[in-house]
Amino acid sequence: MPPSTITVGVLALQGGVVEHLALLHRASTSYPSVTFHFLEVRTPEQLSLCDALVIPGGESTTMAIVARRLGLLEPLREFVKIDHKPVWGTCAGLVMLAEEASATKQGGQELIGGLDVRVLRNKFGTQVQSFVADLNLDFLGEGEGPFRGVFIRAPVVEEVMDGDGKVKVLGTVKKPGEEEDIVAVRQGNVFGTSFHPELTGDVRVHAWWLGNVVEALGQRGEGKGLVVGKGKTDAGEV
Ligand SMILES: NC(=O)CC[C@H](N)C(=O)O
């Protein structure tokens, strides 16, 4: 039985929070039998209300420092690795969800973990080397056209570290003259993308992910979300 109400948080320490909320809200109309509540998460208390979480793009070093100061890092690790609640990280969010990261600032940076991968930060260079590429994301379903991948100081998965195939590669990109790079992975309830679906206006990845959330929580008999009117988030109308 899918749960009737689900609370989805967006970690709102910095980065593309509003964009995710807008697309999540649009995607939620694909599941009319479920009432979604969307919540900006800045405190452990807010996190504890969530059934699932999006960690947006932005700057993973800053996000980690702020999360540490707000007492959120350990609760986030529990959320992902002990409670196994569904989580999706985009770009900096993918970095946060990796077990290891390379090209970090001197002294390294704190991560949440959950994906047995090592990411390489800023693989394609600086902000001015941002690019857009058509991606074939088979998980979106047969007959779906390519997805416009927006890459901004994006990381890639440079190594899948688990030996037993738990990490599934769901998307790659190949720039002319370069090797293919892994840009979407999933391990159980943890999903990560190097690119930014929230900046495209294309709702398909958000809708797919919400479908996974509904399914995962249904299997666990969970979904304790607060019931609020559709069309609103804590950030107001989106
Ligand atoms: N657009 C982004 O989220 C950039 C991610 C950033 N390079 C980081 O490592 O945190």
- Grouping H, G, I as helix, E, B as strand and the rest as coil, residue 139 is helix
Active-site residue, 25 included: no
- Is 120 within 8 Å of 183 (Cβ atoms)? no
* 111 Cα to the center of ligand 1, angstroms: 13
* 203, β-bridge pairs: none
Angle, helices 204-220/17-28, rounded to nearest 10 degrees: 70
Q: Tokens 């260079």 map to which residue?
A: 125
Average pLDDT of the chain, as a whole number: 91
**Of residues 20, 25, 37, 196, which has the active-site annotation?**
196
pLDDT tens per residue across span 184-210: 999 999 999 999 999 999 999 999 999
Mutate to test the pocket of ligand 1, among 20, 121, 157, 193 (most ligand atoms within 8 A of CB): 121
pLDDT tens per residue across span 32-91: 999 999 999 999 999 999 999 999 999 999 999 999 999 999 999 999 999 999 999 999
Q: Which residues line ligand 1 (CB under 6 A)?
A: 57-60, 91-92, 95, 121-122, 152-153, 155
* 233 Cα to the center of ligand 1, angstroms: 25
**Distance of alpha carbon 145 from alpha carbon 178, whole angstroms:** 24
State residue 25's pLDDT score.
98
Binding residues for L-glutamine are 58-60, 121, 152-153
Active-site residue, 45 included: no
Please classify residue 237 by burial: count the beta carbons closer than 10 Å to its beta carbon, then call 0-12 exposed, 13-18 middle and 19+ buried.
Answer: exposed
State residue 234's pLDDT score.
42
**Distance of alpha carbon 77 from alpha carbon 101, whole angstroms:** 16
Instruction: Give residue 220's pLDDT band: very low, low, confident or very high (50, 70, 90).
Output: confident
* 233, β-bridge pairs: 236
**Distance of alpha carbon 235 from alpha carbon 24, whole angstroms:** 13
Complex ipTM > 0.85: yes
State residue 224's pLDDT score.
52
Q: How far apart are the first and last CA of the chain?
A: 29
- Pairing mode, strands 115-120 and 156-160: antiparallel
CA distances from 184 to 3, 81, 127, 203, 233 (A): 27, 19, 20, 16, 27
- Is 167 within 8 Å of 115 (Cβ atoms)? yes
- The residue ranges of DSSP E strands in 115-166, in sequence order, are 115-120, 131-135, 147-151, 156-160
**Distance of alpha carbon 238 from alpha carbon 227, whole angstroms:** 17
Q: Is the pLDDT of residue 235 over 70?
A: no
If we measure between CA atoms, which residue out of 173, 180, 88, 187 comes closest to residue 132? 173
Active-site residue, 198 included: yes
- Pairing mode, strands 236-237 and 115-120: unpaired
- Pairing mode, strands 98-102 and 190-193: unpaired
